[in-house]
Structure 1
Amino acid sequence: MMKRKIMTIVLSIILISTFLPKIQVLAADNSLKKVKSKETLVVGTSADFPPYEFHATLDGQDEIVGMDISIAEKIAEDLGVKLEIQDIGFDSLLPALEVGKVDIIISGMSASDERKESVDFSEVYYIGGQNIVVRPSDNEIYTSKDDLYQKKIGVQTGSIQESLAKEQMPDSSILSLSKITDLILALKTNKIEAIIMEKPSAMAYVANDNGLATFDGGFELQEDEQGAAVAVKKGSASLVTAINQSISTIKENNLTEDYLKEAGELLKESQGQDGQEDSKPKTIINYWSYFAKGTGYTILISVLSVFFGSILGVILSLMRLSDRKLIRLPATAYVEFVRGTPMMIQVMFIYFAVGYLINIPALASGIIAVSLNSGAYISEIIRSGLNSVNKGQTEAARSLGMSKKTAMRYIVFPQALKNIWPALGNEFITIIKESSIVSIIGVGDLIFQTKIVTSLSYRGIAPLAVTMVIYFILTFSLTKLLNHYERKMNHDQI
């Protein structure tokens, strides 16, 4: 009797755990209603994949265009809502969807079985095929994937091409990068021998870059590996149904051909190849607005991170110097934890994990993450400076009737500041350079804009050279400013 009761309980738990989540998902499917209520469809994409999605300058403004964007516009139009595009690294798209940063993903993404475990997909809206991109000098050497035996090949992180390479080219060495533009640069600089890319994207890059060649890779493709589909959050059946209606209309009217043609024209126009006889390919100077925008964001992030990081650093340093364990231990734990984890993980945690509870914009998430990281390092610098001041200074101040707080403010801290100024300066310079990590969540800083220029210009080295010069100017100028105040402090002390 007892065994029967136990079996009944076990079976009940299994049934509940199996079917309850599905029932909850079905009951909570307000995905379509949610999009319509906020009157905006937020689409996540990785805009380095022409002709699917890429950046182009239209009427003097940077815009994300391409076949996928046209499809997104059609879906938004059918839903009667506005369209908002979020440019995020391809490998960060699925996390962004799962935590609600975007409503759907349209980025030439294949509906693989592995991805279906975490998200739902619409019907396939386009079948492109898989190509291999190589250097023109190797076009006769490599004619299929079999010719790349034990060679180093490049794929986009998290893409279907990465899965194909692992499954059908196991003897080859694989380099996974988040941006196609980075893979193109790796190919041109002989870091890899080939790139596996979606056929339309490969054709677009080859058509605009004489330094590339492409051919059909001869991959054995499953049904779910032969086309691009729209990804939505798990359990969004109503939204999928609405999207499928739009895709059905697109297929019936063969609109993808029109979208591809329009994308090709915009791609040529962005290259200065608009068909006019006097048109010339654009130089790097023509993309100055991208570098200027990126520099502005980098300065903004750095200044705010230095400001908030310094405030946090002062508070943490004073907490660590406290005699009370309840005050000292939390500060110590925070500093050790932050210094023991990569900033990239911290940025992604703030944007995705914390963003799951509170919808924090990408720029704000980047500033918060860099500030929190910098605060830990600044606190250690300040703490070491305060400890370097002779205790006799504090005792002398107290003997003159000063309180501990007053002595710290007017006697100890000014002397400590002089001692730690070079170290603080180094930390401020480091913030300028390390703030580039925020580009992984789509913040338009200098690194992010550099990748856009690389994608638009099909040049790999020149945009990097310009970016290096800009970073040097920023850090060198800050160094001179810090040195000026250091000399001033030494002069005042004398």
Structure 2
Amino acid sequence: MKHNFIKKLLYIVTLVGALLLVLSGCGNSNNSSLQGIKKKGTLTVGMISSNPPYEFQTSKNGKTVMSGSDVRLVKKVAKSLGVKYKIKTMDLDGMLPAMQAHKVDMLITSMSPTPERKQGAKFSDVYYKSTNTLVVRKSDAHKYQDTNNFKDASIAVVNNSTQEPMIKKAFPNAPMKKLGKVTDLALAVNNGKADAFSIDIPTATILLKQNPNLTITSWRHHDSSAGAAVALPKNADKDLIKAINKVIAQNKTDYAKWVLEYAKQVN
């Protein structure tokens, strides 16, 4: 009796284990392989909701839709793979966990392949690299003509952005304020909660159009990051990465033009 019970128990454990392996394999296929995405028929992409001109919300026919250079790249990728696309927006610091949990197939959101991020994701070739600056209130512009004065300024950055380690290295003693999204940067400086914020020049140009009391300083920095790349699950197969890199190679020159094009469109 006892012997039969043990045999049944072992059979159940083995069966459950086999089912888990099958389910796990299905999940990996859908999120990590070229054929898995093609089989689903839809590419699900994660990106920041507000990071103009790369991605931002706009109104079209009475509906809120995503626009920007990264959205345009998503369309190119989906067309190349022969599938539809769906965009899920989230904060930058929640993106890698969302991809690791198979909530999205990949991240196309001007993300840099830092060593820390590479621990939990694979990356495509770089498709864009920009120059960073510091933005202050116009009333404080005279103070920061000497950029050494930033060493004691409170500087705002987007949390987990490439600007964060860059500012930490350039101004190690400056108090840093880590915020959730790009639009929070201008708000913080406008409200006196930060003396300055750091962002790439195309984004800074847009924010200045929306905040005429702010100005770009002469400070420039090419951060140590490789630039923007597509992030994929750690177990993404070679065919998927190869397909993404092919799209990037075909559109890399145009992407730089898209950035300027969308920068002019943002109000």
Q: Same fold (TM over 0.5)?
A: yes
Q: Is the 8 A contact 2:137 2:189 kept in 1?
A: yes
2 CA distance for matches of 1:167 and 1:257? 27
Counterparts of residues 438-477 of structure 1 (less than 5 Å) = none
Q: Secondary structure at the match of 2:45?
A: strand
Q: Indicate how the Cα distance of structure 1 residues 138 and 63 shifts in structure 2: closer, same or farther if over 3 A, else same.
A: same
Residue matched to 1:176: 178
The Cα shift of 1:207 comes to 2.8
The Cα shift of 1:265 comes to 4.5
Q: Is the 8 A contact 2:134 2:197 kept in 1?
A: yes
Deviation string for 1:204-225 (max 9, x for gaps)? Answer: 2113321221135333632xx1
Aligned partner of 2:127 among 125, 131, 141: 125
Residue type at the aligned position of 2:102: G
1 CA distance for matches of 2:195 and 2:201? 18
2 CA distance for matches of 1:98 and 1:259? 29
Q: Is the 8 A contact 1:183 1:195 kept in 2?
A: yes
Q: Indicate how the Cα distance of structure 1 residues 266 and 190 shifts in structure 2: closer, same or farther if over 3 A, else same.
A: same
Residue matched to 2:151: 149
Aligned partner of 2:113 among 96, 111, 114: 111
Count the aligned residue pairs.
238
Q: Secondary structure at the match of 2:129?
A: coil
Q: Is the 8 A contact 2:131 2:222 kept in 1?
A: no
Where structure 1 has 5 or more consecutive residues not aligned to the other structure, the ranges are 1-24, 272-494
Q: Is the 8 A contact 2:131 2:220 kept in 1?
A: no
Deviation string for 1:125-175 (max 9, x for gaps)? Answer: 111111111111222322475321122110111111111122222100011
Q: Is the 8 A contact 2:134 2:220 kept in 1?
A: no
2 CA distance for matches of 1:66 and 1:170? 33
Q: Secondary structure at the match of 2:232?
A: strand
Residue matched to 2:98: 96
Residue type at the aligned position of 1:233: P
Q: Indicate how the Cα distance of structure 1 residues 55 and 166 shifts in structure 2: closer, same or farther if over 3 A, else same.
A: same
Q: Is the 8 A contact 1:46 1:53 kept in 2?
A: yes
Q: Indicate how the Cα distance of structure 1 residues 143 and 48 shifts in structure 2: closer, same or farther if over 3 A, else same.
A: farther
Q: Secondary structure at the match of 1:159?
A: coil
2 CA distance for matches of 1:113 and 1:203? 29
Q: Secondary structure at the match of 1:120?
A: strand
Q: Is the 8 A contact 1:130 1:216 kept in 2?
A: no
Residue type at the aligned position of 2:137: R
Residue matched to 2:246: 245
1 CA distance for matches of 2:146 and 2:33? 43
1 CA distance for matches of 2:113 and 2:120? 11
Q: Secondary structure at the match of 2:199?
A: strand
Deviation string for 1:328-361 (max 9, x for gaps)? Answer: xxxxxxxxxxxxxxxxxxxxxxxxxxxxxxxxxx
Deviation string for 1:84-142 (max 9, x for gaps)? Answer: 11110111111111111111111121111121111111111111111111111222322
Residue matched to 2:33: 31
2 CA distance for matches of 1:176 and 1:80? 39
What TM-score comes out, normalization by structure 2 length?
0.83
Q: Is the 8 A contact 1:109 1:230 kept in 2?
A: yes
Q: Indicate how the Cα distance of structure 1 residues 146 and 117 shifts in structure 2: closer, same or farther if over 3 A, else same.
A: farther
Residue matched to 2:233: 233
Q: Indicate how the Cα distance of structure 1 residues 146 and 103 shifts in structure 2: closer, same or farther if over 3 A, else same.
A: farther
| Greater RCO structure (CA 8 Å; 6+ sep) | 2
Q: Which has the higher strand share?
A: 2
2 CA distance for matches of 1:227 and 1:257? 12
Residue type at the aligned position of 1:136: K
Residue matched to 1:54: 56
2 CA distance for matches of 1:48 and 1:207? 16
Residue matched to 1:214: 216
Q: Secondary structure at the match of 1:122?
A: strand
Which range moved further: 198-207 or 141-150? 141-150
Q: Indicate how the Cα distance of structure 1 residues 37 and 216 shifts in structure 2: closer, same or farther if over 3 A, else same.
A: farther
Q: Which has the higher helix share?
A: 1
Residue type at the aligned position of 2:262: A
Residue matched to 1:138: 140
Q: Is the 8 A contact 2:202 2:260 kept in 1?
A: no
1 CA distance for matches of 2:54 and 2:264? 13
The Cα shift of 1:83 comes to 1.1
Q: Is the 8 A contact 1:145 1:169 kept in 2?
A: no
Q: Indicate how the Cα distance of structure 1 residues 128 and 250 shifts in structure 2: closer, same or farther if over 3 A, else same.
A: same
Residue type at the aligned position of 1:178: G
Residue type at the aligned position of 2:249: S
Q: Indicate how the Cα distance of structure 1 residues 50 and 216 shifts in structure 2: closer, same or farther if over 3 A, else same.
A: farther
Q: Secondary structure at the match of 1:106?
A: strand
Aligned partner of 1:81 among 80, 83, 86: 83
Residue matched to 2:258: 259
Q: Secondary structure at the match of 1:107?
A: strand
Where structure 2 has 5 or more consecutive residues not aligned to the other structure, the ranges are 1-24
1 CA distance for matches of 2:88 and 2:169? 31
Residue type at the aligned position of 2:227: G
2 CA distance for matches of 1:261 and 1:159? 21
Q: Indicate how the Cα distance of structure 1 residues 213 and 33 shifts in structure 2: closer, same or farther if over 3 A, else same.
A: same
The Cα shift of 1:263 comes to 1.6
Q: Indicate how the Cα distance of structure 1 residues 227 and 154 shifts in structure 2: closer, same or farther if over 3 A, else same.
A: same
Counterparts of residues 282-321 of structure 1 (less than 5 Å) = none
1 CA distance for matches of 2:260 and 2:204? 16
